[in-house]
């Protein structure tokens, strides 16, 4: 057991080291694959040896159970805001009112969400949003998913620091592309995306959004600092990623620093909407004092958005990986906010009609959040010889007829064989909740696709180890493990297969309900909307999606190849007739003595009960094991009955 503990501690040490290099230094020493393999090994060991789990392990950053709601947090010290100025003249007036001979810290004004982090005995115990400055929300579980936040620091006394959570530009673009492909509303800018991601009730979603943070202030501490610069040095020593800036003296130097930030902001990997100018001396700050709601010793200079007029040359159609067709504006190239813009998303046909956009128009363009090019308005005074845009009837990628459902803004291609959708479909098919092909992540799928070894999901079951070995970073062992994982996935059953096929609006629960009702996939080619609507969990839109999916010839071709490869296409689950837990809601917490939580959940569901991720007054029982944590505490406060595994098994009998 000592060897196991030693390996776990060594893995944690290595992962923290490489995570710091990747997220804070932008200087990784190992590949993503090597990091992922170490992470997976640590996850497996912690699952096998729960006695060695730790709330400071790198694995806690992947996100926990969904929360019912956020608890309110009263800030011991108000988290205030800053007065804004919008010109160098206003900035000069601000400095002149204080003293231009003082030293000032000029820092990036990160466009994100302000939070406070509380540490006790060197451990992160609370992460809270700013809220109204006096009361925020407890988002600790989501904060823990941000890899640049240290879960443990050398300083062991009470410490509260303040920082700005933000979404890097690359993560923002990736998130909006994903939402665009699925027909979801796009986030307007990285700040909105960061705020929405940090306030997710399910921290697993937050973990996938790749948020980051800059710490810019010591909010509470027993330590005494003479200057802001000194406090930032302390924060860096504790492992915090501090905000970027420079210390200068004099109005001209301050304006020069702000101007430099403005010129270089388009080159940054994150979004800033201005610069913060504040006195460096903490003693002088006290002397200068505070206004009613803002400090007198600091101000925020806000950058204006840059807009340019250019000509809309054409509107093309892009097909997303989930079949959504998105119109794309082709522009006469124009230089905006540090880069040349020649394309801009037009979202959907409604967007084009609402703004009365025509091909040939002169349009005003800006970058949303200084990143995503968008058309703001049309100069109708210059309109001459323009052409109205209309959507094509057929998918430009595969030639299939496209559909627009009632109440939806997006047009879609529902052809399973559409090349534009292939990669995303395969990634979903192999994912954990679908066919659970271990090791078949997005990078591996893309590598196999680029090597022309796969073109649709059925090709996964005709791979051979020798071909995989030739792919960069794979090798003999990886190829063997991948083939074994593909083989193991064949017996997942019809319910998993239905979900894995990626039929629109058919999630795990719906797929299971359909599979129980119609337990052989061969029957699906003749099912009607009425047949499917007889199932409780299936509405008319979901039913139509299933009918559309199985009406394609390509679907039948793929299903036949899956069957020939030995993939189980029938539902073999035996429904337990017991209703002993009907109307009861269970919450599971801690480590159970003889079974996993998933096994306990299966028993509850098989006996008519429901499993929830959070405790509320509606919870019937909390099934608690060792190291139960906050759910146990909440259950006790609400008077919810707490049971052990032994009591649970007696109830099942």
Calpha distance 141→206 (Å, rounded): 9
CB 453 within 8 A of CB 468: yes
Three-state DSSP at 468 gives helix
3-state secondary structure 399-456: CCECECCCCCCCEECCCCCCHHHHHHHHHHHHCCCCCCCCCCCHHHHHHHHHCCCCCC
How would you class 599 by CB atoms within 10 Å of its CB: exposed for 0-12, middle for 13-18, buried for 19 or more? exposed
Q: By CB neighbour count within 10 A (0-12 exposed, 13-18 middle, 19+ buried), where does 396 fall?
A: middle
The 113-120 sheet, strands edge to edge:
123-129, 113-120, 159-166, 212-221
The residue annotated as part of the active site, out of 13, 109, 256, 517, is: 109
Phi-psi region at 629: left, alpha or beta (left = phi > 0; alpha = psi -120 to 50):
left
In order of 356, 589, 617, 631, 643, the CA distances from 621 in angstroms are: 57, 11, 10, 11, 7
Question: Coil, helix or strand for 502?
Answer: coil
The phi and psi torsions of 149 (rounded to 5 degrees) equal -90, 120
**Tokens matching residue 212:** 């980051």
Active site residue 109: yes
Cβ atoms of residues 108 and 214 within 8 Å: yes
- CA proximity to 363, closest of 314, 318, 325, 410: 314
Q: On the CB side of 388, how many CA atoms lie within 13 Å of its CA?
A: 5
- The token pair at 337 is 């906010």
Which active-site residues does the annotation give? 109
């Amino acid at each position: 057991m000592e060897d196991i503990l030693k390996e776990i501690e060594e893995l944690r040490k290595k992962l923290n080291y490489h995570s710091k290099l990747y997220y804070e230094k932008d200087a990784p020493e190992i590949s993503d694959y090597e990091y992922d393999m170490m992470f997976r090994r640590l996850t497996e060991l912690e699952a096998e040896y729960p006695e060695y789990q730790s709330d400071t392990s790198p694995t806690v950053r992947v996100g926990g159970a969904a929360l019912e709601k956020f608890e309110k947090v009263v800030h011991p010290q108000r988290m205030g805001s800053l007065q804004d100025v919008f010109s160098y003249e206003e900035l000069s007036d601000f400095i002149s009112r204080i003293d231009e001979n003082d030293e000032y810290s000029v820092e990036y004004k990160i466009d994100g969400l302000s939070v406070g982090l509380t540490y006790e005995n060197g451990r992160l115990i609370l992460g809270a949003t700013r809220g109204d400055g006096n009361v925020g929300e407890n988002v600790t579980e989501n904060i823990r998913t941000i890899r640049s936040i240290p879960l443990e620091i050398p300083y062991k006394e009470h410490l509260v620091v303040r920082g700005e959570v933000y979404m890097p530009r690359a993560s923002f673009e990736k998130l909006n592309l994903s939402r665009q492909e699925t027909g979801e509303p796009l986030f307007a800018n990285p700040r909105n995306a960061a705020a929405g991601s940090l306030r997710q009730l399910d921290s697993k979603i937050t973990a996938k959004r790749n948020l980051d943070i800059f710490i810019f202030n010591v909010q509470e501490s027993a330590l005494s600092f003479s200057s802001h610069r000194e406090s930032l040095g302390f924060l860096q020593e504790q492992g915090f990623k501090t905000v970027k800036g420079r210390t200068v003296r004099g109005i001209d130097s301050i304006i020069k620093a702000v101007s430099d930030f403005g010129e270089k902001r388009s080159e940054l990997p994150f979004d800033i909407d201005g610069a913060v100018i504040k006195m460096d001396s903490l003693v002088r700050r006290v002397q200068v004092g505070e206004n009613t709601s803002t400090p007198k010793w600091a101000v925020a200079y806000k950058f204006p958005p840059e807009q340019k007029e250019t000509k809309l040359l054409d509107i093309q159609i892009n097909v997303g990986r989930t079949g959504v067709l998105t119109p794309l504006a082709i522009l006469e190239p124009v230089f905006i906010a540090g880069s040349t813009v020649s394309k801009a998303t037009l979202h959907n046909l409604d967007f084009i009609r609402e703004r009365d956009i025509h091909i040939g128009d002169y349009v005003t363009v800006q970058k949303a959040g200084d990143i995503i090019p968008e058309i703001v308005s049309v100069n109708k005074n210059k309109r001459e010889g323009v052409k109205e845009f209309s959507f094509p009837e057929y998918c430009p990628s595969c030639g299939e007829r496209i559909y627009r459902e009632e109440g939806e803004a997006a047009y879609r291609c529902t052809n399973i064989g559409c090349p534009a959708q292939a990669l995303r479909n395969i990634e979903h098919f192999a994912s954990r909740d679908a066919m659970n092909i271990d090791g078949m992540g997005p990078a591996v799928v893309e590598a196999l696709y680029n090597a022309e070894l796969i073109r649709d999901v059925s090709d996964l079951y005709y791979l051979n180890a020798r071909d995989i070995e030739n792919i960069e970073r794979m090798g003999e062992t990886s190829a063997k493990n991948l083939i074994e994982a593909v083989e193991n996935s064949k017996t997942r059953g019809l319910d998993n297969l239905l979900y894995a096929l990626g039929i629109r609006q058919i999630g795990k629960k719906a797929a299971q309900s359909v599979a129980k009702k119609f337990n052989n996939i061969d029957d699906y080619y003749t099912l009607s909307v009425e047949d499917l609507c007889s199932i409780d969990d299936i509405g008319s839109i979901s039913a139509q999606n299933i009918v559309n999916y199985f009406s394609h010839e390509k679907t039948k071709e793929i299903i036949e190849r899956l069957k020939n490869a030995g993939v189980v296409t029938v539902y073999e689950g035996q429904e337990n007739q017991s209703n002993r837990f009907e109307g009861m809601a269970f919450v599971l917490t801690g480590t159970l003595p003889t079974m996993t939580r998933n096994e306990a959940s299966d028993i509850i569901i098989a006996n008519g009960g429901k499993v929830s991720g959070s405790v509320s007054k509606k919870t019937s029982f909390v099934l608690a094991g060792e190291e139960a944590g906050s759910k146990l505490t909440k259950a006790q406060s609400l008077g919810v009955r707490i049971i052990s595994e032994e009591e649970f098994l007696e109830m099942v009998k």
